[in-house]
């Protein structure tokens, strides 16, 4: 990193960031000089020769030069590049979320234009979905005006410089001092609560995908909602994998040192491109657009339709699907249709198996088989 680039990177650094960092890193304050700089030393005998003069006001003419000198001393002491030290100083009062997309076509640090635009759009959508789910859990956030709290958080976010090594987007979330009144957030800033929710939701959707692969049971995705997962989050992750859905995604979280990691936030999360189809399944499920194969529906017949010229009839059952009441439409051969007609008159329970296609507004059973009627007595014999 050139000296000019380093000077440009420190223009936004404030004295409070410098002093907070030095204190956190174990430096000792040894007084002031002329009311414009603070003197810092190390306690350790091996490092007694290290001295930092930290400017305490931005009003001095050589403020940036003094910060530059401070970074050089820290770089020498920490045996790290001045660029890394500068980045840590800039982000000392912020949580940082790094979103890295990995593929051969981004190894050089560039990305195709359309995918680059999509990556930034979906990174923002990821943030919006996680911020919303921090305040209220939901399978799907269908739009609407953002609340004042959510808008304020998003407006506080900053984009850091992109990085080489695949392609990296840095999202910087300043730590605020406002605290939620809920018991589990009392010691946590709003920013940290949201950062924790990001980690929890990414952990949960990864776990749900693994469980779904093992069981092929769509309900594997149910428990993740309580951890902040939504269709919106799944869609954002899919979009970040690119138009061809071919890139791996790695999310790395760096926590500000000013706030303790009391909930042991998991800091790294990876999604292989092979996970994208499962993210799609989860998203559709949360939007109530999915299929339950070879599924039995049971309930009372509420509606019958038959054309005299047809050898099939349509019945509608009032049935529970994943604990939700649904009106399920079924096409039956004419003989079974008349059985359903009789069951309707007698208020008898019927059952039928098939592939149940769910949408937010309807449910339709296709490839129906095994139609049967339960007598009222039969339904309650086991009770």
Q: Are residues 60 and 100 in the same domain?
A: no
Phi-psi region of 166 (alpha: psi -120 to 50; beta: other; left: phi over 0): left
Give the residues across from 351 on adjacent strands.
298, 372
**Where among 270, 286, 302 does a domain terminate?**
286
Segment 68-82, tens digit of pLDDT = 999 999 999 999 999
Give the whole-angstrom CA distance, residue 191 versus residue 150.
11
Q: Are 48 and 37 in contact (CB under 8 A)?
A: no
Q: Are residues 314 and 250 in the same domain?
A: no
- More confidently predicted of 208 and 152: 208
Whole-number Cα distances in Å, 250 to 165, 201, 262, 266, 301:
12, 14, 23, 13, 50
For residue 308, the domain's CATH number is 2.40.50.140
pLDDT band at 164 (very low <50, low <70, confident <90, very high): low
Give the whole-angstrom CA distance, residue 355 versus residue 111.
42
Query: For residue 376, is pLDDT > 70?
Result: no
Q: Are residues 165 and 21 in the same domain?
A: no
Q: Are residues 152 and 260 in the same domain?
A: yes
365-375 in b/e burial notation, b at 16+ Cβ within 10 A?
beebeebebee
Segment 175-234, tens digit of pLDDT = 865 444 444 444 678 899 999 999 999 999 999 999 999 999 999 999 999 999 999 999
Segment 305-350, tens digit of pLDDT = 999 888 999 999 999 888 888 999 999 999 999 999 999 999 999 9
Q: Are residues 105 and 225 in the same domain?
A: yes
Q: Are residues 43 and 106 in the same domain?
A: no
Q: Are residues 134 and 33 in the same domain?
A: no
**Where among 286, 313, 329 does a domain terminate?**
286
Overall number of domains in the chain: 3
Confidence at residue 176, expressed as pLDDT on a 0 to 100 scale:
66
Q: Are residues 100 and 240 in the same domain?
A: yes
**Domain region containing 364:** 290-379
Query: Which of 40-54, 130-144, 150-164, 194-208 has the highest average model confidence (pLDDT)?
Result: 194-208
**Where among 90, 110, 129 does a domain terminate?**
90
């Amino acid at each position: 990193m050139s000296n000019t680039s380093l000077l440009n990177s420190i223009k936004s650094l404030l004295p409070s960031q410098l002093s907070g960092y030095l204190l956190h890193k174990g430096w000792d304050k040894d007084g002031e000089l002329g009311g414009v700089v603070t003197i810092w030393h190390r306690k350790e005998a091996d490092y007694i020769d290290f001295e930092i003069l930290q400017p305490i006001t931005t009003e001095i003419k050589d403020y940036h030069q003094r910060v530059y000198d401070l970074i050089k001393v820290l770089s020498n002491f920490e045996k790290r590049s001045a660029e890394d030290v500068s980045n840590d100083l800039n982000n000392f009062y912020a949580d940082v979320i790094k979103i890295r997309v990995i593929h051969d076509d981004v190894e050089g640090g560039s990305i195709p234009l359309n995918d680059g635009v999509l990556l930034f759009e979906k990174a923002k959508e990821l943030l919006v979905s996680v911020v919303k789910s921090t305040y209220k859990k939901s399978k799907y956030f269908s739009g609407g005006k953002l609340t004042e709290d959510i808008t304020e958080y998003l407006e506080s976010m900053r984009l850091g410089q992109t990085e080489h090594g695949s392609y990296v987007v840095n999202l910087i979330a300043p730590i605020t001092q406002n605290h939620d009144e809920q018991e589990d957030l009392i010691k946590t800033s709003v920013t940290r609560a949201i950062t924790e929710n990001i980690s929890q939701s990414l952990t949960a959707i990864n776990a749900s995908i693994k469980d779904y692969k093992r069981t092929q049971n769509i309900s594997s995705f149910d428990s993740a909602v309580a951890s902040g997962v939504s269709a919106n989050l799944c869609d954002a992750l899919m979009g970040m994998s690119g138009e061809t859905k071919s890139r791996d995604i790695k999310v790395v979280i760096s926590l500000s040192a000013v706030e303790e990691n009391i909930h042991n936030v998991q800091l790294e999360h990876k999604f292989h491109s092979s996970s994208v189809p499962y993210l799609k399944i989860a998203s559709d499920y949360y939007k109530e657009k999915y299929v339950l194969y070879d599924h039995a529906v049971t309930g009372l017949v509420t509606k019958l339709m038959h054309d005299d010229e047809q050898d099939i009839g349509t019945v509608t059952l009032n049935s529970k699907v994943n604990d939700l009441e649904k009106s399920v439409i079924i096409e039956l051969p004419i003989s079974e249709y008349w059985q359903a007609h009789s069951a309707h008159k007698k208020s008898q329970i019927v059952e039928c198996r098939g592939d149940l296609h769910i949408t937010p507004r309807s449910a339709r059973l296709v490839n129906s088989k095994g139609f049967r009627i339960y007598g009222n007595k039969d339904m309650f014999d086991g009770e």
